[in-house]
Amino acid sequence: MSGTKGTVTAVSSNGEYSFTKPNRDSITLLPGLGVEGDVHAGVTVKHRSRVAQDPTQPNLRQVHLIHGELFAEVAGQGFEVAPGQLGENVTTEGIDLLGLPTGTLLHIGAEAVVEVTGLRNPCLQIDGFQNGLLKQLVGRDADGTIVRKAGIMSVVRTGGEIRPGDSITAELPVGPHRPLERV
């Protein structure tokens, strides 16, 4: 994976709670809300586990991006995963999403801008989708630190339509960079 430039390979959304999200020709990002018509769009948390904890929490998980390179990685372990099947809204190629610092602005397509808030914390639903897949998406590095590979979460700063083939450019934040943590 290269560093701060990439391409959108698929966009997905779903108006109903479901683990996977169907691919679309395009999606529209709404400032401060997320993906138009998506069940996870909103100012406050929409993920069921977060709502149960505190429904007034800000929604730091408006748009979920995942690097398509992950699909090739898990295919090597016998898992077949296609864009949208892990519930992401935007599937990318060529950009090191997991290596970006918190607060990075991702310029997607002609207008849209999302701010990276943190890592997706993969849940047990992943094993319901394909048994054993969760272990491929959460592991430990040599130091024993948990490594989450199921993509990143973001909030919409500037709305706009995005579609497969759109470019993505990362604008890193000023000052000391904070590594991504789960949100």
Domain boundaries, given as residue ranges, for the chain: 5-171
- How many angstroms separate the CA atoms of 87 and 79, rounded? 16
Q: The pTM is what?
A: 0.95
Can you give the pLDDT at residue 1? Answer: 39
pLDDT at 53: 86
pLDDT at 104: 98
- Which band of pLDDT confidence, cut at 50, 70 and 90, is reported for residue 17? confident
Q: Which pair of tokens denotes residue 12?
A: 């997905």
Task: Give CATH superfamily name and number for 5-171.
Answer: PK beta-barrel domain-like (2.40.33.20)
With CA atoms as reference, report the closest residue to 68 among 172, 164, 179: 164
Per cent of the chain over pLDDT 90 is: 82
Tokens at residue 13, please? Answer: 């959304």
Confidence tier at 29 by pLDDT (50, 70, 90):
very high
For the segment 143-180, what is each residue's pLDDT rounded down to a tens digit? Answer: 998 999 999 999 999 999 999 999 999 999 998 999 99
Query: What does the pLDDT average to over 39-46?
Result: 90
Instruction: Please say whether the beta carbons of 161 and 112 come within 8 A.
Output: yes
Tokens coding 82? 């296609």
Lowest mean pLDDT among 40-54, 112-126, 164-178: 40-54
